[in-house]
Structure 1
Amino acid sequence: MILQIENLTKKIKGVTVLDNINLTLTGGTCYGFEGKNGSGKTMLMRTICGLIRPTSGVVKFDDKVLGKDYSFPPSIGVLIENPAFIPEYSAFKNLKVLASINSKVTDDEIKEVLEQVGLDPNEKKIYKKFSLGMKQKLGIANAVMGSPKVVLLDEPINAIDESGVENVRKIIAKLKEKGSIIIVACHDKEELEFLSDEIYTIFEGKIVDHRSLNENE
């Protein structure tokens, strides 16, 4: 999978929130987005997954144009801001409903991904009684369920404990092994550097810096 962002600009009410973004992202790599609140990180993620249409420029997945060749990317997992689930359903039942949409994820795979994030697949507690950490873990599980080719994680370690952070690290490592493109935005600079192979700094809607964290490059 190759994700290309070409000359992407987004304006809202005359204000430029993304300014001529150009990126080429490849599979098996974790990319970090860093920047202050309002810099454009989340807006760029929303544009990549098709929730927001650019004012100009294109997003392409393996040379197919988002919004032209298809409305949404064919294989993508997303955790952006506060995920919404059915309040009266358990973690397993919520993921079961979502998995039934494309019938590509089995019950065993749902149980496995819940265990990976640190949730008990047999737990009967319903979502509305979850702690913030449990809700965040379920959001991560939903995003990575089925090992999508592109995974967007906006502040994935918010509200989760140390063991949960370690689980996120392991999940990202496994996704990289499977050839996924992972994009992570995180205010914890140390953790972002730990997770990422490359980091892009975004400021006022522009990419102002890029650095590789691979020692052999």
Structure 2
Amino acid sequence: MTSYIECKNIVKKLKGNHVLNDISFSIKENEFVVLRGHNGSGKTMILRAIAGLLTLTKGEVSVNGLVIGKDIDFSEHTGLLIEYPSFIPVYSGFQNLKFLASIKKKVSDEEIKEVIRKVGLDPEDKRKVKRYSLGMKQRLGIAQAIMEKPKLLLLDEPTNALDKKGINLILDILKTEKENGTTIVVASHDDTLCENSVVDRIIDISEGKLEDADE
């Protein structure tokens, strides 16, 4: 199986400090990999680099053979949740996802409602998102990341603000996504997620350096 994601000697400096320091690893197609590390370790920066949201100081990232920032600005078939999800506060959950879906026009209203149900929310809930709890916003963020059936799913701390029931639901969703052929990269320090059997491999990140890619 060929590599789907390649990170080659990636370096990112901010204000003279290395937030990423010569990191290299590869991820195979349909693999579920967790980037594990504490806050500030650099794991979110790696996700941003893979997503095309970060200009590297050195090195390169490629997805499916195409170099980010050179061949393409970002991988088109990517579902993304990085840091806290941001929505239009005066729209309902359904209205927010419908607005986002209107950009690519790949999913129908019924498909949007179905993915909202999948994450444990009610698509008929008329409440504005500004009245959602943190856990509800997190669920909605995961819904928007998976609604267009991406080939690559990048999630930053997807279990944040979720109780045990919510975490198990998200793990079931990620298992289904993997079964459907999605390549999944998650940044997390949640042991419940890291130790789940659906995860293929853990890459440990500390202070911007690779500790163990377990390849």
Q: 1:132 aligns with which of 134, 140, 146?
A: 134
Task: Name the residue aligned to 1:74.
Answer: 76
CA displacement 1:23-42 (0-9 Å, x = unmatched): 21122221011112211011
Q: 1:153 aligns with which of 139, 155, 163?
A: 155
TM-score of the aligned structures, taking structure 2 as reference length:
0.94
Q: State the Cα distance separating 1:174 from its structure 2 match.
A: 1.4
Task: Name the residue aligned to 1:191.
Answer: 193
Distance, in Å, in 1 between the alignment partners of 2:148 and 2:106 is 7
The answer on whether the counterparts of 2:47 and 2:187 sit within 8 Å (CA) in structure 1 is: no
Distance, in Å, in 2 between the alignment partners of 1:108 and 1:192 is 33
Q: Which runs of 5+ in 1 are unaligned?
A: 213-217
TM-score of the aligned structures, taking structure 1 as reference length:
0.93
Matched, 1:207 2:210: yes
Distance, in Å, in 1 between the alignment partners of 2:65 and 2:146 is 23
The answer on whether the counterparts of 1:9 and 1:55 sit within 8 Å (CA) in structure 2 is: yes
Distance, in Å, in 2 between the alignment partners of 1:171 and 1:26 is 20
Q: 1:38 aligns with which of 40, 52, 69?
A: 40
Residue 28 of structure 1 aligns with an amino acid whose one-letter code is N
Structure 1 segments, 4+ long, off by >3 Å, are none
Distance, in Å, in 2 between the alignment partners of 1:32 and 1:124 is 35
The answer on whether the counterparts of 2:97 and 2:144 sit within 8 Å (CA) in structure 1 is: yes
* Secondary structure of the structure 2 residue equivalent to 1:146: coil
Distance, in Å, in 1 between the alignment partners of 2:63 and 2:34 is 19
Report how many residues are paired. Answer: 212
Cα RMSD (Å)? 1.4
Distance, in Å, in 1 between the alignment partners of 2:137 and 2:161 is 9
Distance, in Å, in 1 between the alignment partners of 2:75 and 2:64 is 10
Q: State the Cα distance separating 1:149 from its structure 2 match.
A: 1.2
Q: State the Cα distance separating 1:112 from its structure 2 match.
A: 1.3
Distance, in Å, in 1 between the alignment partners of 2:149 and 2:165 is 21
Segment drifting more, 24-33 vs 123-132: 24-33
Distance, in Å, in 2 between the alignment partners of 1:96 and 1:4 is 33
Distance, in Å, in 2 between the alignment partners of 1:38 and 1:128 is 28
* Secondary structure of the structure 2 residue equivalent to 1:20: strand
CA displacement 1:126-180 (0-9 Å, x = unmatched): 1011111111111111111112111111111111122211221111111111211
Q: State the Cα distance separating 1:186 from its structure 2 match.
A: 1.9
Q: State the Cα distance separating 1:188 from its structure 2 match.
A: 1.8
Q: How does 1:11-160 map to 2 (within 5 A)?
A: 11-160=13-162
* Secondary structure of the structure 2 residue equivalent to 1:6: strand
Q: State the Cα distance separating 1:211 from its structure 2 match.
A: 3.1
Q: Which runs of 5+ in 2 are unaligned?
A: none
Task: Name the residue aligned to 1:215.
Answer: none
* Secondary structure of the structure 1 residue equivalent to 2:90: coil
Distance, in Å, in 2 between the alignment partners of 1:104 and 1:56 is 35
Distance, in Å, in 2 between the alignment partners of 1:210 and 1:49 is 20
Q: State the Cα distance separating 1:21 from its structure 2 match.
A: 1.4
* Secondary structure of the structure 2 residue equivalent to 1:211: coil
Matched, 1:172 2:174: yes
